[in-house]
Copies of this chain bind each other. A is one copy, B any other.
Amino acid sequence: YNIAVLAGDGIGPEVMAEANKVLDAIASRFSLTFNRNEYAVGGFAIDTQGEALPPATLAGCEAADAILFGSIGGPKWDTLPLEKRPERAALLTLRSHFDLFSNLRPAKIYPGLEALSPLRADIAASGVDVLVVRELTSGIYFGQPKGREGEGDDEFAYDTMRYTRAEIERIARSAFEAASRRNNKVTSVDKANVLVTSRLWREVTEEVAKDYPQVTLEHIYIDNATMQVMKNPAQFDVMLCSNLFGDIISDECAMMTGSMGLLASASMNSAGFGLYEPAGGSAPDIAGQGIANPIAQILSAAMMLRFSFDEAEAADAIERAVVATLEAKILTAELRMPGATGQAATTQNVGDAVV
């Protein structure tokens, strides 16, 4: 398998090193070959090559079977014009260029780590395991027209939220397929009492549901969804969202677990090509200290094996090793309970344990 490795900024390179060690272990255990080529991306690419997504990086991604992505951005590049910043110029461009419409963001509270959740103890212990399926290449992120016109007080700005039937159908199928492999429930998040886009979203989702009679479909308004995620997250299995609502709900779900350093994500197109990245950011405040949690990056590699390479056994092996590492309490600082004894594990310790 050919992998384009884009470690990026901040903690990206450190946690990527651990994911690479885990892939080496998988290669020998399962007799697989991973050809990995590293490319510059984000702030590092701006500093060294003048742009966040250099042509060589894009070409390298095109030649690969999947992209293993670290994280990008940081205060150093925040003063650039928006279009040049790492998040826009690299991440949104990659999503759009490769038509990575299907974004899977699992969020679960691991047994033993309930106390890290910002939710009340009984809610955190109720068995929270949500998969947010977010549409990633359309909606108000990319809808045209978008712009600014007029002068003085009458100056105005506008963005267009827009979805075609075909765009809704394919992401709805992703959600129903995922629910079929999980707990057979899809909750579709919209604002159908206000948005015309949401009404079409609801209609198409209902139609797709007919092809999955074993899966239950519910609809919820985005405002109510943010309440229910807090009050009773265990009620959700798969949450199906448009681009903007998925951005909001997936972050709320990630925070609810209290352990962002454990959360991976996949962004895929219909050919199975995908970009795999941790849910957390580049965390410049702790970069270079060897204390960042590499598990989200390691689990992103596992998602890559599962979804782009169809190597479910290898992916299972990584996920089991991660659970065993957590159970053995080999934990980086941010996962330790107040008053825990002994030393926090380093980034390397955790990588070694998973290996």
Taking Cβ atoms with an 8 Å cutoff, the residues of A that contact B are 82, 85, 87-88, 92, 117-121, 123-124, 140-141, 143, 146-148, 150, 152-166, 169, 191-197, 199-201, 222-224, 226-227, 230-231, 244, 247-252, 254-256
Contact = CB atoms under 8 A, between A and B. Distances in A.
23 contacts: A82-B192, A82-B193, A82-B199, A85-B193, A117-B120, A120-B124, A121-B121, A150-B164, A154-B165, A156-B165, A157-B197, A158-B161, A159-B160, A191-B244, A191-B247, A222-B247, A222-B248, A224-B251, A226-B248, A226-B249, A227-B255, A230-B255, A248-B248
Contact of A251 (B124, B147, B154, B223): B223
A61 B11 CA distance: 58
Contacts of A124: 120
Given A191-B244, A255-B231, A158 B143 contact: yes
A141 B194 contact: yes
Nearest to A122: B118
Question: Looking at A124, A140, A199, which has the most chain B CB atoms within 10 Å of its CB?
Answer: A140
Specify the main secondary structure of chain A where it touches its partner: helix
Nearest to A152: B165
Contacts of A169: 153
Given A157-B197, A223-B247, 7 more contacts: A119-B119, A119-B230, A155-B200, A158-B197, A160-B160, A223-B248, A230-B252
Contacts of A200: 148, 155-157
A223 B281 CA distance: 13
A130 to B, nearest CB: 14
A200 B152 CA distance: 12
A139 to B, nearest CB: 10
A119 B123 CA distance: 9
A109 to B, nearest CB: 12
A119 to B, nearest CB: 6
Contact of A226 (B88, B166, B196, B251): B251
Contacts of A119: 118-120, 230
A153 B166 CA distance: 5
A14 B187 CA distance: 33
